[in-house]
Amino acid sequence: MPCGAGDIGLNVWVEGRDLLFYVARSGAFDETNSYLKLGRVRITMDPSPFTDVSDFRQTLRLIDGEVVVSCSGVTTTIWADIDTPVVHVAVESASPVSVTAALENWRTQDRDYTPAEMSMHRAYDGAPVTPRQLADEVGFAEGGVLALHRNRDETVFDLLVEQQGLQAVKDQLWNPLNGLAFGALLTGEGMAPAGRVQGRYANTEFTGWRMASARPRRSHALRLVCPIEQTPTKAAWMTGLRRLSSGAASPAVSRRRSRRWWRDFWSRSHILIQPGAGRPDNLPWRVGRNYQLFRHQLGTNAKATWPTKFNGGNFTYDPEYVDPEKRLSPDYRMWGGGEFTAQNQRLVYWPMLKSGDVDMMTPQLDFYRRIQRTGELRTHTYWGHEGACFVEQIENFGLCCGQEWGWNRSWDKPAARLPGVEDSAFVSYHWDTVFEFCLMMLEVGRFTRRYRPGDLNFIDSCLTFFDQHYRREHKIISGEELGPDGKLVLYPGTACETYKTALNSTVTIAGMDALLRELLNLPGSLLSPALRTRYNNLRATLPAFPMRTMQGRRVIAPAQLWDRIQNVEIPQLYPVFPYDQYGVGRPDL
């Protein structure tokens, strides 16, 4: 059952006589850029309330953002604080109970990641080195159990800088992994260390460090403080942990303000489908319920630094419960940890405009803003012109995923002869998804009537890349920057991952046109006369949408020409969504 707030996610469940939950926080990236859990908490009570489960009830209270477990006169409430990375557990019992809480960790020894785990850190797929998982530091400290992972000096960032030929500008590239440390401190009122225990959950061995109450009580309060910070030393991180711990709100204050935030969140917008039905066999009601659950999970990452990942966010768990063949640790996830797939990320964030959750889009938009300079340095290094270039399979520090860049860029492969181009059948030349995030920036400004500082500069850099890059490419081929008709020749390109080595991709044209349309609609105070003239001139150089005839009808083509089909997508519809050039009631439909 998912629960959380701020940027913390918890998976909560009861199993046997124990209440358990995984703890995850956005941004917990290790040296390989794997996205790790902070641990698992196991709570055991004596006497156990789960011996007789006839009145057992576990409830996700969406309105309050908390999970409540009740059985045999004992009620346990779990929530995450909305303003600080702190998890609270409150136990209330009709009669005194003793509580033991263990922080369980499965990263207790250094080890090589196995080939089966490669999807956690796809940068290493094909690499000449084997990725290693380096152990956490776990023990009794700071009045509780402290688990800490601090990245060592060499990370995948260093590996990919060398792979992609960026050593000359390495010191100018943003590196979010260097000095990054994350962890959790488990403490409890009136609790003291109670030794270690070893075990196996699912297919993963673990060690648990236990805290136990000094005596039975009717009320128990536990707390998990979860800092993530880049610091020059471990000592500096520990100072931050102590500051966070000492300044944490009381459970009562935390619960009150967190509930207030969630109630305000649910009042922003509503989609209710047959709310009175309340039956799982009622399909419309289930659709409505699932929408609430989806939006709730997005809300748990509302105040994050890092975006909600499309491949599970903070709510992944032991993969063998999905696929029995994947007997791997709870840290496992498909499609990477600190690697982001732009086409998938966009679909997480577009709905937030209409649901009134515009503020929750900030982590995704800032993701790109942070790596703007990296995108510009890549462009200058590879092609010698201006503008920011962003690949489709992008690491959180702005470089291409190592697998997609290619570890064996042999000269018999076309991409190997082209600096800056991914050696990938699927995502080579796939650089235009960033236009969707640029359009989100403009839409956030339009919805809120406030344009964020720096967004317009970022958008300009992205447009500059495409303008200068394809002028350069066509001049190499023909000696002229533009085609005979005075238009840009967008070649070589791609229409999504499907129509490869494309000429005049519909997606690229639609993205550039939509951005220029919206930029030219900005108030004069936001756009200088010089920029307005440049954008008008650039828009005039865009080629028309490619068209073709199918079944006797004139329809949008994916591109003017292409040399092969690689995937199964419909780039022809991008002028409908998200770029809004065609639609019901529009001309030329």
Q: Residue 488 belongs to a domain with what CATH number?
A: 1.50.10.10
Please state whether the peptide bond connecting residue 47 to the residue before it is cis, i.e. omega within 30 degrees of 0: yes
- Domain membership flag for residue 462: yes
Q: In 3D, which of 322, 315, 275 has the Cα closest to residue 298?
A: 315
Residue 207: the pLDDT is 99
C-alpha 483/C-alpha 485 separation (Å) is 5
Let me know whether 433 and 553 are in one domain: yes
Q: Which phi and psi angles does 187 have, rounded to 5°?
A: -135, 165
Tokens for 163? Answer: 């792979």
Q: In 3D, which of 505, 485, 489 has the Cα closest to residue 497?
A: 505
- Domain membership flag for residue 430: yes
Residue 416: the pLDDT is 53
Q: What one-character DSSP code corresponds to residue 213?
A: E
Let me know whether 43 and 97 are in one domain: yes
Three-class DSSP category at 78: strand
The CATH number assigned to the domain holding 19 equals 2.70.98.50
Tell me the one-letter amino acid at 400. Answer: C
Q: What angle do CA 360, 365, 367 make, to 5 degrees?
A: 110
Helix (H) or strand (E) holding 225: strand 217-225
User: Do 184 and 235 contact (CB within 8 A), yes or no?
Assistant: no
Q: What one-character DSSP code corresponds to residue 253?
A: H
User: Do 512 and 463 contact (CB within 8 A), yes or no?
Assistant: yes
- Domain membership flag for residue 169: yes
Let me know whether 298 and 351 are in one domain: no
User: Do 582 and 576 contact (CB within 8 A), yes or no?
Assistant: yes
Q: What residues in the chain have per-residue pLDDT under 70?
A: 410-417
Q: In 3D, which of 143, 147, 138 has the Cα closest to residue 189?
A: 143
Domain final residue, candidates 291, 321, 351: 321
Domain final residue, candidates 272, 287, 321: 321
Strand partners, 340: 394
User: Do 535 and 516 contact (CB within 8 A), yes or no?
Assistant: yes
- Domain membership flag for residue 163: yes
Helix (H) or strand (E) holding 393: strand 393-395
- Domain membership flag for residue 8: yes
C-alpha 66/C-alpha 361 separation (Å) is 23
Let me know whether 505 and 559 are in one domain: yes
- Domain membership flag for residue 330: no
Radius of gyration of the chain (CA): 26
Let me know whether 276 and 358 are in one domain: no
Let me know whether 430 and 514 are in one domain: yes
Let me know whether 255 and 344 are in one domain: no
Residue 244: the pLDDT is 98
Q: In 3D, which of 168, 224, 216 has the Cα closest to residue 38?
A: 224
Let me know whether 293 and 357 are in one domain: no
Domains of the chain: total: 2
- Domain membership flag for residue 374: yes
Let me know whether 316 and 404 are in one domain: no
Q: In the structure, how many helices (H) and strands (E) does the chain have?
A: 13, 24
Tokens 């029995």 -> residue: 324
Let me know whether 161 and 282 are in one domain: yes
Q: In 3D, which of 204, 201, 216, 191 has the Cα closest to residue 140?
A: 191
Let me know whether 186 and 50 are in one domain: yes
User: Do 340 and 367 contact (CB within 8 A), yes or no?
Assistant: yes
406 CB-side CA count, 13 A: 20
Please state whether the peptide bond connecting residue 578 to the residue before it is cis, i.e. omega within 30 degrees of 0: yes
Question: Domain limits at 546?
Answer: 339-573
Let me know whether 135 and 217 are in one domain: yes
E strands, 29-85, where?
39-46, 57-61, 66-71, 74-80
Strand partners, 86: 225
Q: What one-character DSSP code corresponds to residue 116?
A: G
Domain final residue, candidates 259, 293, 321: 321
User: Do 176 and 228 contact (CB within 8 A), yes or no?
Assistant: no
- Domain membership flag for residue 587: no
